[in-house]
Amino acid sequence: MAPDTLHSAPQARPTILLTGFDPFGGGTHNPSWLIAQALHGQRMAGHSVVAAQLPTVFGQSLQRLQSLVQAHQPALTLCLGMAGGRDALSIERIGININDARIPDNMGAQPIDTPVHAGGPTAYFSSLPIKAMLRAVQRAGVPCEVSQTAGTFVCNHVLYGLMHLLAQGRGPKGARGGFVHVPWLSGQGEPHLPLRDMVRGIHAALWAAVLAPQDIALQAGATH
Ligand code: PCA
């Protein structure tokens, strides 16, 4: 099956939905989408990975994500995005109910201090086992950290929106979701990580997320 399929036949095998974004802010590549594509079709502990691209656009990104969740009924959804300037895979802990864009999105919109969902809760925690994922990525030899903010641009919008739709029961029972930011690729800026290392790290993170229904206790101080 090709990536990005909205109307797949119902699958016996539970799905892991793995999304990446298109390039934004004048860039030509977005490693988040390259990583998702590289892992499309992988089997992990009885699950199949389905990769899909989200547009770097407020609103449209969430409409697309909602269609994907409806079509694939993923047991686990991991959204990836690029955060230039970070030097490690950043497992996001929290999405907040705010859009506050420093640059325009890919449709030219630049919302300032608007809610993702008016009347929604202030924030949602990721429901993925972030510390178990952190340990797995570090054991795979890839730099990784827990991040306390996904920013206020489209990535935070998607993390908040994902958790909101799961909270509303749009996914299958017990569906979990979360977000990982990735650094630049070589040639995009410094610091950067090679694509193969990022793919290995996300592969390890997904395995850990699938295998650990609950998180492990790992001191934040032990995460660097
Ligand atoms: N990064 C942006 C949006 C798309 C992406 O890959 C962000 O961090 O919000």
Atom of ligand 1 nearest to the CA of 80: 6
Q: What is the pLDDT of residues 76-120, one digit of tens each?
A: 999 999 999 999 999 999 999 999 999 999 999 999 999 999 999
Greater model confidence, 223 or 219: 219
Smallest Cα–Cα separation from 81: which of 4, 147, 127, 175?
A: 147
> In angstroms, rounded to a whole number, what is the distance separating the alpha carbons of residues 149 and 158?
13
Position 221 scores a pLDDT of 56
Residue 48 in this model has a pLDDT that exceeds 90: yes
pLDDT of residue 5: 53
Q: Are residues 116 and 157 in contact, defined by beta-carbon separation less than 8 angstroms?
A: yes
Alpha helices (H) in the chain, listed in sequence order = 31-39, 60-72, 130-139, 154-167, 195-211
* Confidence tier at 224 by pLDDT (50, 70, 90): very low
- Homologous superfamily (CATH) of 15-211 is Peptidase C15, pyroglutamyl peptidase I-like (3.40.630.20)
Q: Whose CA is nearest to atom 2 of ligand 1?
A: 155
CA 114-100-78 angle, to 5 degrees, is 100
Instruction: Answer for the pair 176, 209: CB distance below 8 angstroms, yes or no.
Output: yes
Write down the catalytic residue from 47, 72, 79, 92.
Answer: 92
**Average pLDDT score, the chain:** 94
* pLDDT > 70 in the chain, percent: 92
pLDDT higher than threshold 60 for residue 18: yes
* Ramachandran angles phi, psi of 80, nearest 5°: -115, 150
Sequence-distant (≥ 6) Cβ neighbours of residue 91 within 8 angstroms: 126, 128, 130, 133, 134, 137, 144, 145, 146, 147, 178, 179, 180, 205
Average pLDDT of the residues in 143-153: 98
How high is the pLDDT of residue 222?
54
Is a pLDDT exceeding 80 seen at residue 187? yes
Asked whether 68 and 171 are in contact (CB, 8 A), the reply is no
Strand partners, 222: none
pLDDT confidence tier of residue 123, bands split at 50, 70 and 90: very high
What Rg do the C-alpha atoms of the chain give, in angstroms?
16
| pLDDT for the residue 13 | 84
Ligand 1: centre distance to CA 205 (Å): 19
Tell how far the Cα of 156 is from the centroid of ligand 1, in angstroms: 8
Does 92 participate in catalysis according to the annotation? yes
pLDDT of 214 reads 79
User: Could you tell me the residue ranges of all domains in the chain?
Assistant: 15-211
Q: Which band of pLDDT confidence, cut at 50, 70 and 90, is reported for residue 197?
A: very high
What pLDDT score does 120 carry? 98
